[in-house]
Structure 1
Amino acid sequence: MNSKHIETQAIRTQIERTQFLEHSNPLYLTSSYVFDDAEDMRASFADEKERNIYSRYSNPNTSEFVEKICLMEGAERGYAFASGMSAVFSTFAALLASGDHIVSCRSIFGSTQTFFNNILPKWNISTNYFKVDEMDKVESLIQSNTKIIYAESPTNPAVDILDLQRLGDIAKKHDLLFIVDNCFATPYLQQPIKFGADLVIHSATKLIDGQGRVLGGVTVGNADLIQNIYLFSRNTGPSLSPFNAWILSKSLETLPVRVDRHCANALKIATFLESHDKVNFVKYPFLKSHPQCELAKKQMKLGGTIVAFEVKGGIEAGRKFLNSLQFLSLSANLGDTRTIVTHPASTTHAKIPEDVRLETGITAGLIRVSVGLEHPEDIINDLKQALEKN
């Protein structure tokens, strides 16, 4: 297929058809595959030929899903995982050794930060952090044992924007790997490889699925790096199930349409919240008031699906607001068809020390809204009535 358009790649990429010539790729629920003869089996295990051996290694459904993400991200190769965090864990575990060092943005997913702070040190792997407004300090954090620069953009949950090109240039200058979590943007809105990323990670559980049905993760990028990740994962077993891969591959076919609507709704919700007298501030990348608005427009096609805002009155006002919502969902997930409202300080980032939360913009009254596909007036009306009860 010669199309360079993401919308077409997501729909028309199909790894193989069976003799039945199905229009939609079937589900391959098999744990293993048979061989023609002893020589075929030997050659397959010796990696002398590419073929399916065992579904922990590869499966037609996972292969199709990964191929679509690679085409959309402009990546050479990828590997699919059982969840977003298994993608994060396996990527770092495969590429790092005892004594290595990471430079990371402070504003990252809470579980990723816990992984960096509490688990990697057991293997003598350390991390230093820079804040979103400390790009000038990144190079000063690089040590002789630094191997990776890591970032999310937009950040979770305060939707700050990092200059990916600048980070990519720093990584290249110092011969470091640059890894980006692109979960909030999806490959439809942003392709970090264009800005110098070596690897891109997604929690496919979020917008890629888009309907809150399955877990999944994927890492794509440089083929040599993915080979290391593949060999690690082949032996440690964090692979994505064929059923979930089939669901996610079908979900990609509607990703552009869904994300267009998510983003249109999110901008309307952000604009409403910015005008409300019970709100201290609103963060949405394509609002003119966002401090990195111009950078966001340079890196992203649209402003994304997440709106962050602070309710006046602190944590008690925030709780009262959440308890006053009538139909919007209270959940720690995001990227669903249903609008989801979360209080990060008491949920997704609750285990992060308060001083660190404040460094990343997670105040006691911060609310994260994952804007869904309901009619925007209905979303706004629920937010409005809940705010007015404070």
Structure 2
Amino acid sequence: MKTSKLGINTVCAHVGEVKDEQFKGAISPLFMSSSYAYEDVAVKRYPRYFNTPNQEALGKKIAMLEHSEAGMIFGSGMAAVSTSLLAFLQKGDHVVVQKTIYGGTYNFIVEEFPKYGIEFSFTDGFSEADFASEIKENTKVIYLETPSNPLMLITDLEMIANLAKKHNLVSMIDNTFASPINQTPADFGIDIMIHSATKYMGGHSDICAGAVAASEVHIMRIWNVGKNLGGSLSDYTVWLLERSMKTMALRVNAQSKNAKRMAKWLEKHPLVAKVYYPGLKSHPDYELAKKQMKRFSGMLSFELLPDIDPDVFMKSLQLVKQSMSLAGVESTILSPTKTSHALLSAEERAHQGIADGLLRFSVGIEEKNDLIADFEQAFEAAVKKQVV
């Protein structure tokens, strides 16, 4: 059977399995060894080299989901981000970075790159002119994130890919918020796709991992740096991640459907000032999102009216958990100013449009009516607290 013709759920369930040749089990066996033979073997395996049986197999699943040639698994999303960037940047080089990115990535760039003599520029906006104006003679990489964290802004993938090719640059995207279920940037010409696999790939809030998908040539360059930095993942967690990814398409589709319903409901709520979700027709990037996304993600953000205390609202929620991270089957909520973007200064957050009243909502697989009921009682509690 041609794997290129397989449907997305079939890819999730079957591609990248380790065959159980001994006992013919239905799932991948787990190879826990940290020491392998080096004589008379086709592959000299070593965990830090990202090539144990479970690591190697899962890389194939990642690659097929992202419509790429090869994939790698890392110990965290930041390990995937940092290794990929450092694989293509060295002293004297320059990278153009999208204005709004994950706070951890922003902090890595501004704190670590000066130590390496790597220059960087953040764009003023998301248009072609915004990116093009930052390109210099020593620019090597364009780095973006779409949908962005936490404002769900959309960057034109095809535009970025064409701009990168025009200037002989490498294009990289953090594709975590969309997941390969909702968006495959390689189809629009993007070179390297990066994920916090902790999120939609893991999907159950119990795994910390990262992933990268790209061409064989680009992956080899990332591998050469990765084996020196040592950001590999334990094989037990690799095995758990492969198991979790079997249901990724089912989970993400359900979460995306729920998120659109919740976004529409929140948009009409009198205590909500603004909703950030690309699946809303009111979103400025709605048409672009339709062009390059299959669904619109299970993530959304919304801003409360100024007189509604976000802490009271969140603490009053009974079903939705006030929790770090995102993309689990359970719904969670957080304040970006206290978590994902806490490392940014107040001025930097204001420049990115991240207000104290902004809340990021990771929508799970619960029933929509149950989520709405929980939000309603939390809104009531916040209003009562305001009156008191």
In the alignment, is the contact (CA less than 8 A) between 1:308 and 1:366 conserved in 2?
yes
Q: Does 1:33 align with 2:39?
A: no
CA distance in 1, matches of 2:371, 2:163: 41
CA distance in 2, matches of 1:6, 1:131: 36
In the TM superposition, residue 367 of structure 1 has moved relative to its aligned partner by 0.6
Return the offset for 1:360: 2.2
1:53 equivalent in alignment to 2:45? yes
What TM-score, normalized to structure 1? 0.94
Q: CA deviation at 1:235?
A: 2.6
Q: Residue 336 and residue 266 in structure 1: after superposition, are their counterparts in 2 closer, same or farther (change >3 A)? A: same
Aligned partner of 2:333 among 328, 332, 341: 341
1:167 to 152, 160, 177: 160
The question of 1:12 aligning with 2:14 is answered: yes
How far apart, in 2, do the equivalents of 1:347 and 1:250 lie?
29
Structure 1 residue 106 and structure 2 residue 96: aligned? no
Q: Is the 8 A contact 1:131 1:360 kept in 2?
A: no
Note if contact 1:201-1:219 (Cα within 8 Å) is conserved in structure 2: yes
Q: Distance in 2 between matches of 1:145 and 1:293?
A: 34
Contact 1:116 1:126 (C-alpha < 8 Å) held by counterparts: no
Deviation at 1:111, TM superposition (A): 0.5
Corresponding residue SS for 1:227: helix
Contact 1:132 1:162 in 2 (8 A): no
Structure 1 unaligned residues grouped into runs of 5+: none
* Amino acid in structure 2 at the alignment position of 1:311: L
Q: Judging changes above 3 Å, is the alpha-carbon distance between structure 1 residues 132 and 247 closer, same or farther for their aligned structure 2 residues?
A: farther
Provide, for residues 138-166 of structure 1, a one-character-per-residue CA deviation record: whole Å limited to 9, x for no partner.
Answer: 11100111010000110001111111110
User: Match for residue 383 of structure 1?
Assistant: 375
Q: Does 1:355 align with 2:347?
A: yes
2:186 matches 1:184: no
Flag structure 2 segments of 5+ consecutive residues without an equivalent: 384-388
Q: How does 1:1-390 map to 2 (within 5 A)?
A: 1-3=1-3, 4=5, 5-13=7-15, 14-35=17-38, 38=39, 40=40, 49=42, 51-57=43-49, 58-313=51-306, 317-388=309-380, 389-390=382-383
Residue type matched to 1:12 in 2? H
Q: Distance in 2 between matches of 1:6 and 1:327?
A: 31
* Distance (whole Å) between structure 1 residues aligned to residue 161 and residue 126 of structure 2: 17
Q: Letter of the aligned partner of 1:357 in structure 2?
A: R
Q: Name the Cα RMSD after superposition.
A: 1.4
1-structure distance, mates of 2:132, 2:261? 38
Tell me which amino acid in the other structure corresponds to 1:309: F
- Aligned-partner Cα distance in 2 for 1:127–1:112: 13
Alpha-carbon separation, structure 2, partners of 1:156 and 1:132: 15
What number of residue pairs does the alignment pair up?
378
Does the CA contact (< 8 Å) of 1:159 and 1:285 recur in 2?
yes
- Can you list the C-alpha shifts for 1:93-114, whole angstroms capped at 9, x where unaligned? 2221111111011111100000
